């Protein structure tokens, strides 16, 4: 398969997360994280119900996803071909690797 090069995305601008200084003290050390605001304080609830994600974080993540989609738009056919190739290799009947042995032994594969 001949490698394909995607055309550069014209005028696509990567979203920039704003910096909001934050400090946390852990074991007597100050940890600074300008992007801590991107971790929702209610992250456990968000895992159960994504609608609970704070709007500001959601807006930034959606902007990043839109940028990635625009950047990868032309790679769809290549991506599908690669996935098909990998799936075909995994489904090859009779092909498997087994390691026998333990640490310090030579072991063998089949």
Q: Where are the beta strands (DSSP E) in the chain?
A: 23-26, 29-32, 99-100, 108-109
Over residues 6-32, mean pLDDT = 85
- The whole-number pLDDT of residue 9 equals 53
Which position has the higher pLDDT, 20 or 76?
A: 20
pLDDT at position 104, please? 60
CA separation, residue 48 to residues 38, 40, 45, 69, 93 (Å): 18, 13, 5, 25, 39
Average pLDDT (66-85) is 91
pLDDT above 70 (res 31)? yes
> What percent of the chain lies above the pLDDT cut of 90?
58
Q: What pLDDT score was predicted for residue 90?
A: 77
């Amino acid at each position: 398969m001949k490698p394909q090069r995607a055309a550069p995305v014209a005028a696509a601008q990567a979203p920039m997360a704003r910096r909001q200084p934050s400090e946390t003290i852990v074991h007597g050390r100050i940890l600074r994280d300008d992007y801590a605001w991107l971790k929702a304080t209610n992250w456990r609830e968000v895992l159960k119900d994504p609608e609970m994600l704070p709007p500001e974080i959601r807006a930034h993540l959606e902007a990043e996803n839109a940028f990635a989609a625009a950047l990868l738009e032309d790679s769809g056919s290549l991506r599908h071909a690669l996935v098909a190739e990998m799936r075909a290799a995994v489904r090859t009947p009779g092909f498997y690797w087994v390691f026998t042995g333990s640490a310090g032994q030579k072991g063998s594969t089949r």
